[in-house]
Chain A
C-alpha cells in the first residue's frame, strides 16, 4: 500500500483523497427543487450499515483523508449519525455536518457535540416562509430551521448558514442577509444553485438573469461595507452560478484528485453529481477504497489531460481549470469529454448563451418547479 502511494508521489500522479463526503442517505424530509442528488435516487434502496460506514471511514482515514462531510439527503435521518461522528472524530477527521436542520433538536445537538462534531452548516431556502415552503415543499421547515440555527450557536458552534440562491429568491438577498445578521450568523454562503441534478431539470425556473445576479452582488458588496463599519464579523461568501462565468471552475480540484464521495449504497464517486454520468462506479461492498481510488477505471478516466478534446487539449489553462466540470459537459453536450460549455472558448458555449437569454425572459413560476421526491424520482429510475 505504501509502495503505491510512494510510486504515485514520484510520478507526480495521483495523490491521496484529502476530502471524504459521506452521503449517508438519500432520504430527506424536504423536496428542494435544486437538490444535487441524482434524479433516480429512489432506485437506491440498500443503505450502508453502521458497520460498513465505520469501515469506510477507517479506510479513507488510512489513505490520508482528513476533512469529511456528513451529508445526504438529510444525514440526521440516520439514527446512527452520532455513532459515526464519534468514530470519525476518533480517527482524526475534521467533521462537518451539512444539514437542513430538520431532525435536529437541542438534545441531539448536545449528543453530536459530545461525539466530537466540529462544525454544523444549516441551509436556508429564503428569508420568508412562503418562498421557502414553495421551493422545499414543506410549510413548517423555515421556522424550524431558524430555531435550530439559534440552538447550534447557543451550543457553542459558529453559525454557518448556506442559502441557495435562484431566480425566485435572489431579488430578496437584502432581506436574506438581514435575517442572517439578526440570527447572529458568523458566516453565510450565498450560493447560487449550480445546474446539476434536479436543478438542471428545473433550470428554466431557477437560473437568474444577469441583471438579477449583478444586483445581488452589488447588494452583497454594500452589506460587506456596512458590516465592517459596524465591526460585525459575519463573512459573506457569494458563489456565482457557473453559467455566468467566462472560464470554467476547476471542478473538485480535478477528477479523482482530492475529493471522494461515498453514496448511500456504497457507490464511490469523484463528486456528488457524477452518478448521472453514463458510466458505472465501483462500490465499497465489492472493493477496497484504496483500489477504487488509485486503480479503478472510472477514477482514472479523467485524470491528467490525455482524455481532453480541443480546445482544452492544447489550452494553456488546461491544468488550471482541468477543462471544467465533466457533469456539466455531459448534461449540455451529451459528451462527458467535451470542454465545459461554460468556457467561452468551447464550441458549445452558445448553449450557455442561450440559457442566459432564456433567463432574461423566463416566466416559469415557482409553483411549476418539479420537486425532488420519491414520486418524481421514480420517473427517472431505470427499469
Chain B
C-alpha cells in the first residue's frame, strides 16, 4: 500500500521559505535560507497550489481541472507522493 496524506490536510511552505518563478532558469525554485531547490514542472505546479487554504483534496481537484488530458488517478498519485516527500524533506508542513 502506498502511504497517502490525509485529504483534509492543509499543507503550506515552511515559514520563511518562498516559491518563485525564475525567468532566467525557466522554472520554479523554492528559496530558503542560503539555499535553493530547483523544481521540475510538476513540483512547481503542485507547490503553487499551496496557498494556506486548500487541502490535499482541493489541490488534486484543481490540478485535475488544470490538466484535463492527464489521467486523473495519475495526477492524484503524483500529488500524494510529492506532498509526502516534500513534507519528509521539510519543505512543507501542515497543522
Answer yes or no: do A and B interact: yes
List A residues at the B interface (Cβ < 8 Å): 16, 18, 63-64, 66-67, 69, 92, 94, 96, 118-119, 121, 156-158, 160, 187
Q: Report the Cα distance A16→B15, complex, angstroms.
A: 28
- B23 to chain A: closest residue by CB: A64
Is B15 a contact of A69 with CB atoms below 8 Å?
A: no
Question: Cβ of B31 < 8 Å from any Cβ of A?
Answer: yes
B22 partner, pick from A66, A69, A156, beta carbons under 8 A:
A66
Q: Which of B25-46 contact A (CB under 8 A)?
A: 25, 29, 31-36
- A120 to chain B: closest residue by CB: B33
Question: Which residues of B have CB within 8 Å of A16?
Answer: 24-25
Question: Which residues of A have CB within 8 Å of B35?
Answer: 67
Question: Which residues of B have CB within 8 Å of A158?
Answer: 15-16, 33
Question: Cβ of B94 < 8 Å from any Cβ of A?
Answer: no
Question: Which residues of B have CB within 8 Å of A69?
Answer: 34
Question: Which residues of B have CB within 8 Å of A118?
Answer: 16, 18, 31, 33
Question: Cβ of B20 < 8 Å from any Cβ of A?
Answer: yes
Question: Which residues of A have CB within 8 Å of B18?
Answer: 94, 118
Q: Report the Cα distance A157→B35, complex, angstroms.
A: 16
Is B22 a contact of A96 with CB atoms below 8 Å?
A: no
B29 partner, pick from A66, A96, A187, beta carbons under 8 A:
A66
Q: Report the Cα distance A21→B25, complex, angstroms.
A: 19
- B31 to chain A: closest residue by CB: A94
Query: Top 8 A-B pairs ranked by shortest CB distance?
Result: A64-B24, A94-B31, A119-B33, A158-B16, A96-B34, A16-B24, A67-B36, A66-B22
Q: Smallest CB–CB gap between B72 and chain A, Å?
A: 34
Question: Which residues of B have CB within 8 Å of A63?
Answer: 24
Point out which of A16, A94, A121, A157 has the most chain B C-beta atoms below 10 A from its C-beta: A94
Give chain B's interface secondary structure class. strand
Q: Known interface pairs A16-B24, A119-B16, A157-B16. Does A66 touch B31 (Cβ–Cβ under 8 Å)?
A: yes
What 12 new A-B contacts, CB under 8 Å, besides A67-B31, A94-B18, A157-B16?
A16-B24, A64-B25, A66-B20, A66-B22, A66-B24, A66-B31, A67-B34, A69-B34, A96-B33, A118-B16, A119-B33, A158-B33
Q: Report the Cα distance A96→B36, complex, angstroms.
A: 12
Is A121 a contact of B33 with CB atoms below 8 Å?
A: yes
Q: Report the Cα distance A94→B35, complex, angstroms.
A: 9
Is A64 a contact of B15 with CB atoms below 8 Å?
A: no
Question: Which residues of B have CB within 8 Å of A157?
Answer: 16
Q: Smallest CB–CB gap between A187 and chain B, Å?
A: 8
Q: 6 A–B contact pairs at CB < 8 A?
A: A63-B24, A92-B20, A94-B18, A118-B18, A118-B31, A160-B33
Question: Which residues of A have CB within 8 Å of B16?
Answer: 118-119, 157-158
Question: Which residues of A have CB within 8 Å of B36?
Answer: 18, 66-67, 94
Q: Smallest CB–CB gap between A171 and chain B, Å?
A: 28
- B24 to chain A: closest residue by CB: A64
Q: Report the Cα distance A159→B25, complex, angstroms.
A: 30
Question: Which residues of A have CB within 8 Å of B31?
Answer: 66-67, 94, 118
Point out which of B15, B16, B32, B36 has the most chain A C-beta atoms below 10 A from its C-beta: B16
Q: Smallest CB–CB gap between A332 and chain B, Å?
A: 28
Question: Which residues of A have CB within 8 Å of B34?
Answer: 67, 69, 96, 119, 121
Question: Which residues of B have CB within 8 Å of A187?
Answer: 33
Q: Smallest CB–CB gap between B65 and chain A, Å?
A: 29
Q: Report the Cα distance A311→B31, complex, angstroms.
A: 37
Q: Report the Cα distance A118→B25, complex, angstroms.
A: 21
Question: Which residues of A have CB within 8 Å of B32?
Answer: 94
Q: Report the Cα distance A92→B15, complex, angstroms.
A: 18
Q: Smallest CB–CB gap between B16 and chain A, Å?
A: 5
Question: Which residues of A have CB within 8 Å of B15?
Answer: 156, 158
Q: Smallest CB–CB gap between B95 and chain A, Å?
A: 15
Q: Smallest CB–CB gap between B64 and chain A, Å?
A: 31
Q: Report the Cα distance A67→B35, complex, angstroms.
A: 7
Q: Smallest CB–CB gap between A325 and chain B, Å?
A: 19
Q: Report the Cα distance A119→B20, complex, angstroms.
A: 16
Question: Which residues of A have CB within 8 Å of B24?
Answer: 16, 63-64, 66
